[in-house]
């Protein structure tokens, strides 16, 4: 599988022709590089180390062998199908010899190359299929696929057809997720939004759409010399998370002016029934926003803002917005590393040699059992696998793990979320500094963690406030949508949904949003939007994987809620 160094090589070789070809389209260099990684990256990443000329590398980018009908529906199903057509024998000879010559460098094809009737049906660095031999035989017979601009042209033509099949012919830009959807249509000829990225060719581990999205994310982290990558590469054990999106709105600036409460941002210009059903977010008093529309609709103005790094767009009551021409909407960037001075991370101190176990009743300590798992790896596959290991090891639904089991009306969502983050190498406090301790830390003092004096336990309601007030300093940022938080979790990032109760004595709730598996998936509507992310939780009901009650965080018992991400 291509690595960052392979991606850099490809961009250095082919940046100029790609950027010239995609100018004025919705595609870009990273997207086309990702397609090449998906289609033939496993070939050219080997060939580029063989001191071969670029033209020879391109000529040997062939694959997808067949010699008998094994479910293929497109032409040719067999050698006999091919040789029966005009110039079919010549085409077979080229397709078989290409396999033999490529297999000299790529050991995985050597067995197939020894079979006299085996031949390739994918040609070029972007893999144009032999089914098109019937309409464009010269492209194959004259080996035009060995010319980069020819292969690129075929790829862009197919991508544009796929774009139309997805119904996005009028789009002026694509998100990375949308491009992966177009890639699925490029691969299969169709795309079903409700199935998300789990579509296209299945290689025994992942679907085409999932693999392509992984490659897009990899390509976004690789910059040419002297340039800055679109997404900062992550250290081992962490995921590269999309930076906070910038605002698109250019209208007048307002600030929230309620004087008494937060302002609800809604998905439509009306108060829903129940009132929280269409709430996107709660905007704090004084929050600057930009107008999308110039006129209010039914007393609601469409606005856009950035809140703790989340791009939010919706409708807010116009009467609670005050014009503020000089104000700016700040886009928060989470700190790359936790603070080492001032207000720093704190943990419950423990006696030397003591061990905190899952099998023991809940307490304020973090787990420190022998051989407990951690998040590790540098690829999405490795990160996802290690997070699955953490979830399996925590086994929140196992009765013997008393740490998480509800009893007498008490639940432990906050402890499970802390343990999940703790093992993943992300700070989410189990205990935190008291208000008086924070004042002293802020003035430069160094304090000892003393339970009941300088530190206290953190409940779910407190986690909501902690993330709002301190989260960005510890690498957290808000996500604006369920699609965003699920996509990042699927890359191996850490996601949380946190809701604060209206009644302070009542428990709030926090769940982890986790990477989808073959068996467990987020719920999506017919248009493909996530309506219930894949979650893992302790609570009144403990589960390792589930989608829970749709929009549970919008329940009338909660005062406010938010989605949070950490790399």
Read off the pLDDT band of 520 (50, 70, 90). very high
**pLDDT at residue 423, rounded to an integer:** 98
**pLDDT at residue 67, rounded to an integer:** 74
- In this structure, how many other beta carbons lie within 10 angstroms of the beta carbon of residue 370? 6
Q: Is the pLDDT of residue 294 over 90?
A: no
Q: Is the pLDDT of residue 511 over 70?
A: yes
235-248, pLDDT tens digit by residue? 999 999 999 999 99
**pLDDT at residue 504, rounded to an integer:** 82
Q: Is the pLDDT of residue 96 over 80?
A: yes
**pLDDT at residue 222, rounded to an integer:** 98
**What span, in angstroms and rounded, lies between the C-alpha atoms of 213 and 191?**
15
Compute the average pLDDT of residues 149-171: 97
Question: DSSP assignment of 18-85, as one string?
Answer: HHHHHTTSS--HHHHHHHHHHHHHHHHHHHTTTT--HHHHHHT-EEEEESS-SS--SSPSSHHHHHTS
- Give the residue among 144, 127, 139 at the shortest CA–CA distance from 35: 127
Q: Is the pLDDT of residue 183 over 70?
A: yes
Q: Is the pLDDT of residue 71 over 80?
A: no
361-409, pLDDT tens digit by residue? 999 999 999 999 999 999 999 999 999 999 999 999 999 999 999 999 8
The number of residues in the chain equals 567
Q: Is the pLDDT of residue 552 over 80?
A: yes
Q: What's the token pair of residue 208?
A: 């085409």
Compute the average pLDDT of residues 44-67: 93
| Phi, then psi, of 134 in degrees rounded to 5 | -65, -35
193-212, pLDDT tens digit by residue? 999 999 999 988 899 999 99
Q: List CB contacts of 20: < 8 A, sequence separation 6 or more.
A: none
Q: Is the pLDDT of residue 70 over 70?
A: no
List the beta bridge partners of residue 476: 566
List the beta bridge partners of residue 498: 510, 562
* Domains present along the chain, CATH in parentheses: 4-220 (no CATH), 253-323 (2.30.30.40), 380-566 (3.90.1720.10)
CA dihedral over 444, 449, 453, 455, signed as positive or negative: positive
Helices (H) and strands (E) in the chain, counts: 15, 20
**pLDDT at residue 68, rounded to an integer:** 66
In whole numbers, what is the pLDDT of the chain averaged over residues? 95
**pLDDT at residue 203, rounded to an integer:** 87
The DSSP call for residue 190 is: -
**What span, in angstroms and rounded, lies between the C-alpha atoms of 509 and 500?**
7
**What span, in angstroms and rounded, lies between the C-alpha atoms of 255 and 375?**
41
Read off the pLDDT band of 65 (50, 70, 90). confident
14-36, pLDDT tens digit by residue? 999 999 999 999 999 999 999 99
Peptide bond into 261 cis (omega under 30): no
List the beta bridge partners of residue 255: 288, 322
489-505, pLDDT tens digit by residue? 999 999 999 999 998 88
The beta strand positions in 404-542, using DSSP E, are: 431-433, 455-457, 476-479, 494-501, 509-513, 523-524, 530-532, 535-537
| Residue located via tokens 């269409």 | 278
| HSE, side-chain direction, 13 A CA sphere, residue 152 | 19
Q: Is the pLDDT of residue 272 over 70?
A: yes
């Amino acid at each position: 599988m291509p690595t960052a160094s392979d991606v850099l090589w490809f961009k250095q070789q082919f940046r100029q022709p790609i950027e010239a070809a995609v100018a004025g389209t919705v595609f870009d260099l990273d997207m086309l590089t990702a397609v090449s990684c998906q289609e033939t990256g496993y070939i050219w990443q080997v060939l580029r180390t063989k001191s071969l000329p670029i033209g020879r590398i391109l000529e040997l980018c062939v694959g997808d062998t067949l010699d008998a009908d094994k479910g293929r529906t497109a032409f040719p199903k067999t050698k006999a199908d091919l040789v029966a057509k005009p110039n079919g024998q010549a085409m077979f000879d080229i397709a078989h010899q290409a396999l033999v010559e490529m297999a000299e460098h790529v050991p995985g094809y050597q067995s197939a190359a020894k079979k006299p009737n085996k031949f390739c049906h994918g040609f070029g660095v972007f893999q144009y299929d032999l089914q098109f031999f019937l309409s464009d035989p010269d492209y194959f017979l004259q080996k035009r696929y060995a010319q980069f601009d020819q292969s690129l042209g075929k790829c862009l033509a197919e991508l544009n057809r796929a774009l139309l099949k997805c119904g996005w012919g009028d789009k002026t830009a694509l998100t990375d997720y949308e491009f992966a959807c177009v890639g699925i249509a490029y691969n299969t000829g169709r795309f079903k939004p409700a199935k998300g990225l789990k579509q296209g060719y299945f290689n025994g581990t992942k679907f085409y759409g999932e693999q392509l999205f992984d490659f897009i994310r990899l390509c976004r982290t690789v910059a040419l010399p002297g340039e800055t990558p679109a997404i900062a590469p992550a250290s081992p054990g962490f995921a590269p998370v999309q930076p906070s999106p910038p605002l698109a709105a250019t209208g007048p600036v307002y600030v929230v002016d309620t004087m008494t409460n937060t302002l609800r941002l809604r998905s439509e210009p009306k108060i829903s029934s129940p009132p929280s059903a269409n709430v996107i977010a709660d905007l704090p008093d004084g929050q600057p926003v930009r107008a999308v529309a110039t006129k209010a609709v039914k007393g609601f103005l469409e606005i856009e803002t950035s809140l703790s790094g989340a791009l939010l767009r919706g409708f807010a009551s116009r009467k609670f917005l005050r014009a503020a021409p000089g104000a700016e909407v700040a886009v928060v960037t989470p700190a790359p590393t936790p603070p080492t001075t001032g207000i720093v991370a704190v943990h419950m101190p423990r006696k030397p040699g003591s061990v905190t176990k899952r099998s023991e009743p809940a307490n304020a300590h973090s787990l420190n059992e022998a051989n407990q798992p951690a998040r590790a790896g540098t690829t999405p596959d490795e990160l996802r696998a290690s997070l699955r290991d953490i979830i399996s090891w925590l086994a929140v639904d196992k009765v013997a793990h008393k740490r998480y089991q509800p009893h007498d009306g008490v639940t432990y969502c906050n402890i499970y979320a802390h343990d999940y983050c703790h093992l993943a190498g992300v700070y989410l406090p189990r205990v935190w500094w008291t208000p008086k301790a924070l004042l002293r830390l802020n003035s430069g003092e160094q304090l000892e963690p003393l339970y009941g004096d300088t530190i206290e336990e953190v409940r779910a309601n407190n986690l909501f406030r902690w993330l709002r007030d301190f989260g960005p300093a510890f690498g957290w940022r808000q996500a604006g949508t369920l699609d965003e938080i699920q996509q990042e979790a699927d890359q191996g990032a850490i996601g949380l949904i946190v809701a604060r109760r209206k009644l302070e004595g009542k428990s709030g709730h926090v769940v982890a949003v986790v990477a989808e598996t073959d068996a467990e998936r987020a719920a999506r509507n017919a248009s493909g939007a996530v309506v219930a992310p894949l979650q893992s939780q302790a609570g009144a009901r403990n589960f390792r994987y589930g989608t829970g009650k749709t929009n549970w965080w919008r329940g009338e018992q909660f005062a406010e809620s938010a989605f949070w991400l950490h790399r």
